[in-house]
């Protein structure tokens, strides 16, 4: 294990996410996955979504990566071609490994407030891209919290923070932490030096690193790549809500075609053919249509 390097990682890039429409009438703020930050190995996409009763993400396929849906407000329904169906609400989490193939639908519960949350896409290493699909689902009360000081609460969705560990299994080593901080607080978070990472703001203003780089809602702050294993985050005159996400880069070839993410162009073509023909993981896609779209 490497010795802890003193100081704080710095911020190398700040990207403001602008609203756009996706799916059917779904408003998203796209952080990773847009032109300014196409991907950040091992992360492929981060959307902050806000979907009312008339919007959503009807039947669509995935192969080769994982989707992590974390709800902030409202409720989201999910249904897939294997019969898996459920609803997540504020603070709940669904960690879906698409693996060799999933066709599913994600829609807001129409009787609730607009569905507001985050969806993260995590690339899978080559040896796991064709694994069997899997779900890990946690209700808000099942996600452990760290309380390093008064006025700082950290939900440990994946990874570890201040001695508190998540039970979520990550095929690609990942940490996903939800921070809520009162005003005039400073906290340090350990992040493995080999991880790529970023901070995404949801509410209030934060100040990051020794330089105090400012971060606001809808902004992505990309962490420096160095041997420093901590990041310092402070608030001033207002409380703040943000997520810290980091993961082990795969450093593998990446070819993405829409909802398929593989290592080569030939594998992408295979994925498209498999989906069209209903084979090699997509057998249950033949004639399937969700009941919630």
Q: Which residues are annotated as a binding site for Fe cation?
A: 60, 62, 104, 106
Q: Dihedrals φ, ψ of 170, to 5°?
A: -115, 115
Spatial distance between the Cα atoms of 276 and 282, rounded to a whole number of angstroms: 8
Specify the DSSP class assigned to residue 265: H
Q: What is the 3-state secondary structure (H, E, C) of 6-17?
A: CCCCCEEEEEEC
Which residues does 3 contact at the CB level (< 8 Å), separation at least 6?
A: none
Per the DSSP assignment, residues forming a β-bridge with 217 are 201
Q: Which residues are annotated as a binding site?
A: 60, 62, 104, 106
Please confirm whether the linkage preceding 42 is cis (ω < 30° from 0): yes
Q: Which two tokens stand for residue 245?
A: 């996400």
């Amino acid at each position: 294990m490497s010795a802890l390097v003193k100081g704080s990682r710095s911020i190398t890039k700040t990207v403001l996410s602008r609203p756009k429409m996706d799916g059917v009438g779904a408003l998203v703020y796209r952080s990773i996955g847009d032109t300014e930050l196409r991907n950040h190995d091992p992360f492929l996409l981060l959307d902050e979504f806000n979907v009312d009763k008339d919007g959503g993400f009807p039947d669509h396929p995935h192969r080769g990566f994982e989707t992590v849906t974390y709800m902030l407000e409202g409720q989201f329904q999910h249904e897939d071609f294997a019969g898996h169906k459920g609803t997540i609400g504020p603070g709940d989490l669904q960690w879906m490994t698409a693996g060799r193939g999933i066709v599913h639908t994600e829609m807001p519960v129409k009787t609730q407030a607009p569905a507001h949350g985050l969806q993260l896409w995590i690339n899978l290493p080559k040896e796991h891209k064709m694994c069997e699909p899997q779900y890990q689902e946690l209700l808000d009360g099942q996600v452990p919290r760290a309380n390093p000081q008064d006025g700082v609460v950290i939900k440990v969705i994946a990874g570890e923070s201040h001695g508190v560990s998540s039970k979520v299994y990550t095929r690609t080593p990942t940490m996903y932490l939800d921070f809520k901080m009162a005003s005039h607080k400073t906290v340090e978070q350990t992040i493995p030096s080999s991880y790529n990472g970023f901070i995404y703001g949801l509410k209030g203003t934060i100040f990051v690193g020794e330089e105090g780089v400012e971060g606001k809602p809808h902004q992505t702050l990309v962490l420096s790549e160095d041997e420093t294993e901590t990041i310092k985050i402070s608030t001033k005159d207002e409380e703040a809500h943000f997520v810290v996400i980091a993961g082990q880069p795969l450093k593998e070839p990446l070819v993405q075609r829409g909802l398929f993410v593989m290592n080569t162009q030939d594998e992408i073509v295979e994925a498209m053919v498999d989906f069209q023909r209903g084979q090699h993981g997509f057998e249950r896609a033949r004639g399937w249509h969700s009941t919630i779209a």
